[in-house]
Amino acid sequence: MNRTLVIVGASYAGVQLAASTRELGFDGRIVLLGDEPDAPYQRPPLSKGFLTGGFANERLPLRSQAFFDEGKIEWMPSTRVVRIDREHREIELHDGSRIAYHHLALTTGARVRKLDCPGATLAAVHYLRDLRDARRLAQTTHTARRAVVIGGGYIGLEVAASLRQQGLQVTVVETEPRLLARVASPWLSGFMLRAHTEHGVAFEFGRKVVALHDMDWSVSVELDDGMRLVCDLVVVGIGVVPNTELAADSGLKVAGGVIVDACARTSDPSIVAAGDCASFVPHWAPAGARACRIESVQNANDMARTAAATIVGRPQPYRALPWFWSDQYDLKLQMAGVNAGFTDYAICGSVEERRFSLFYFRDDELIAVDSVNRPQDHMFARKLLANGARVSPQAVRDPAFDLKTVASRDAPAPRGVAQ
Ligand SMILES: Cc1cc2nc3c(=O)[nH]c(=O)nc-3n(C[C@H](O)[C@H](O)[C@H](O)COP(=O)(O)OP(=O)(O)OC[C@H]3O[C@@H](n4cnc5c(N)ncnc54)[C@H](O)[C@@H]3O)c2cc1C
């Protein structure tokens, strides 16, 4: 009997899961359901080249139509799954129809966290998660002159850079005392602040937005110290909320994300979850760490591969090295590993020329590398971190330090981290 895999959510994790299950020999039916009308597309350019016009729209699709045809992947756009009936192993669609499954995959991702203050629904307020948001925002940048960006995380900073490149005046409001507080080291935060300031972006740190006031042709953004910033456009980038309602309503274990084990299995063995919606204890986390979600393309793709292996009956724990990137102005930031709890760092390259890498150490162990405009360093750093080769802060600080050679050395003892 042919078996059916139903995948809910047609973006990075969903598409990769379909691809990987086929590659691993799954010969049953694969149904990929997504509630967006567009063919699965790349999200990262939406805050970068899509806004500046430097990214060709033809490059947006994640896969060609041939991928779906040849892989016999039944992609259904504009199709929302509203319920999981675990007892009968069926999912229910927005039109009331049902599809039976043997395996179900939840790759429902996340949605933007909304601003919660008076005036939050004014037409000049924008969010950025999907292509519809990006098209709407891109249209306004032709006429707007002044923008306030709420949130100094990656999305906020990428939007700030893109709007500056379009000639808008930009002010970023951030509740924390520094940029990228949740994800970057204070050193990198400081570097990014200098870069944005040099490009003319203004910042308000430690401030909360308490209200937005409609002023006919503009908006006044009121901060908690009484300051008012007048602008034509507000972009909110204050994080995301995982789409876990389907899972929670069907009784799956949910806590800040759909809880999965190292093999991407939810609390129901016939259901896997992967990507932004899934919460798990990463292999690199300290003992006793709580489950968390990771919001990145790398995680969505690699976790989907793990889930696919589970579906075909060859479960393998998720061990991939985390990595991430961000483009702002002419800066290409690439991060490998996780620098949480670092005790020392060392820099190689030239900070003045904006071509350098930051190596983070926890005690003697290298745990992460951030590279700025050094893509080769990033690739070697991933290799280095994955194979566990030893390197010291002193070695990195030595002008003769050769990352390529160090990364190519055999590891003293494998840490079991896949590249
Ligand atoms: C503007 C922007 C820039 C980014 N830049 C970077 C970057 O530079 N580097 C990086 O690594 N990451 C970046 N990210 C993050 C990255 O895009 C996400 O981590 C990634 O998209 C997660 O993929 P996913 O498949 O898990 O979820 P998503 O991409 O969120 O996709 C989930 C899909 O499921 C659909 N869905 C949800 N519920 C249902 C339902 N009930 N029925 C049917 N469909 C449903 C959603 O509409 C969506 O299409 C960026 C994100 C954004 C928004």
Helix (H) or strand (E) holding 346: strand 344-350
Look-up of token digits 């075909």: 312
Residues 150, 173 contacting (CB under 8 angstroms): yes
Average pLDDT (185-197) is 97
pLDDT in tens, 316-373: 999 999 999 999 999 999 999 999 999 999 999 999 999 999 999 999 899 999 999 9
Instruction: Locate 230 and state its tokens.
Output: 């007048």
State in Å: Cα 22 to ligand 1 middle.
22
Sign of CA dihedral 239, 35, 27, 66: negative
Q: What pLDDT band is residue 2 in, cutting at 50, 70 and 90? A: low
Residues 273, 105 contacting (CB under 8 angstroms): yes
- The verdict on the CB of residue 276 being under 6 Å from ligand 1 is yes
pTM of the model: 0.95
- In the chain the domains, ranked by start, together with CATH numbers, are 4-111+241-311 (3.50.50.60), 125-238 (3.50.50.60), 330-408 (3.30.390.30)
- Mean of the per-residue pLDDT values of the chain: 95
E strand map for 224-292: 228-231, 233-236, 240-242, 258-259, 271-273, 278-279
What is the rounded distance in angstroms from the CA atom of residue 286 to the CA atom of residue 289? 6
pLDDT reading at 410 higher than 70: no
Look at residues 120, 92, 90 and name the one whose alpha carbon lies nearest to residue 103: 90
Structure confidence at residue 419 (pLDDT): 39
State in Å: Cα 276 to ligand 1 middle.
7
- The verdict on the CB of residue 38 being under 6 Å from ligand 1 is no
Q: What pLDDT band is residue 104 in, cutting at 50, 70 and 90? A: very high
pLDDT reading at 108 higher than 60: yes
Structure confidence at residue 135 (pLDDT): 96
State in Å: Cα 9 to ligand 1 middle.
9
pLDDT in tens, 46-100: 999 999 998 999 999 999 999 999 999 999 999 999 999 999 999 999 999 999 9
Ligand 1 nearest atom to the CA of residue 13, by list position: 25
List of residues 6+ apart from 259 with CB closer than 8 A: 252, 253, 266, 267, 278, 279, 280, 291
Nearest CA to ligand 1 atom 37: 108
Ligand 1 nearest atom to the CA of residue 33, by list position: 43
Q: What pLDDT band is residue 412 in, cutting at 50, 70 and 90? A: low
Ligand 1 nearest atom to the CA of residue 80, by list position: 42
pLDDT in tens, 110-125: 999 999 999 999 999 9
Nearest CA to ligand 1 atom 28: 109
- The verdict on the CB of residue 295 being under 6 Å from ligand 1 is yes
Ligand 1 nearest atom to the CA of residue 240, by list position: 53
Instruction: Locate 384 and state its tokens.
Output: 């280095």
State in Å: Cα 33 to ligand 1 middle.
14
Pocket test for ligand 1, best of 6, 7, 11 (most atoms within 8 A of CB): 11
State in Å: Cα 411 to ligand 1 middle.
35
Average pLDDT (34-56) is 96
Average pLDDT (19-44) is 98
* DSSP-assigned states of every residue in 80-114: -EEEEETTTTEEEETTS-EEE-SEEEE---EEEPP
Query: Considering the chain, what percentage of its residues have pLDDT values greater than 90?
Result: 91
Q: By three-state DSSP, how is residue 361 classified?
A: strand
Ligand 1 nearest atom to the CA of residue 276, by list position: 26
Structure confidence at residue 417 (pLDDT): 43
- The verdict on the CB of residue 324 being under 6 Å from ligand 1 is yes
State in Å: Cα 242 to ligand 1 middle.
10
Neighbours of 337 (CB within 10 A): 23
- 56-74 burial, b at 16+ Cβ within 10 Å, e below that, comes to eeeebebbeeebbeebebb
Q: What pLDDT band is residue 286 in, cutting at 50, 70 and 90? A: confident
State in Å: Cα 216 to ligand 1 middle.
34
Look-up of token digits 């490009």: 199
Pocket test for ligand 1, best of 245, 297, 334 (most atoms within 8 A of CB): 297
